[in-house]
Amino acid sequence: MRIHREGFKIILISTALLVGVLYLLTSLNSPAWLLALLGIPLLVLYVLIIRFFRNPERKVDATPHGIVAPCDGKVVVIEEVEEGEYFKDKRIQISIFMSPLNVHVNRNPAGGEVSYFKYHPGKYLVAWHPKSSTENERTTAVIKQEDGKEILFRQIAGAVARRIRWYIKPGDRVAKGDEMGFIKFGSRVDILLPVDAEIKVNLEQDVVAAETLIAVV
């Protein structure tokens, strides 16, 4: 299992703590019940931490003019909205909620040139709150495809997810499905599409980053 680089430090610290606690318990000749009482929950937590930072290989959907899911998770919003930061017109918004059990690597939903990128400090409302898209800590990225169409998407922090990482900047040439960032401990990603986009997903559908086709534009 590949581990994402965002997890290297926390996994190293967790390993040191786990080994240290187990070594202390055994060196003090602690009774078996105490070793099990403390050791088993720590081991379970350690496994969950490693699993959280997993980074599986993905086969990118190659549908012409296709837009792919930028993260793993569940589709919680499909609606027409007024986008006021960049396009300043109506767009179709698709929101994907990432639970702590999902893979948390974020990927480019389209390929092309990064024509806009901005980080916004903000609040930490729960990820499903209607105002989280505009008031929470977030990033906004726009990718201009070869045909000139632009796709906007946002990484949005939540009540628990307070560490957004990104690896793109304006002017970068990016490929569809490549890594663009990471959100630690769950949250959501919004994608803003042209109103005439052909939507390929449904509400409550589980999607997989890079592999699930969410729209054709």
**Residues that are catalytic:** 187
Structure tokens at 58: 């993905």
Q: Which residue has the tokens 């899911």?
A: 69
- Composition of the chain by helix, strand, coil, percent to 5: 20, 35, 40
Between CA 140 and CA 7 the distance in angstroms is 24
3-state SS assignment for residue 1: coil
Burial class (CB in 10 A: 0-12, 13-18, 19+), 34: exposed
Provide CB contacts within 8 A for 191, sequence distance 6+.
Answer: 67, 70, 93, 94, 95, 96, 109, 151, 152, 153, 214, 215
Three-state secondary structure string covering 70-98: CCCEEEEEEEEEEECCCCCEEEEEEEEEE
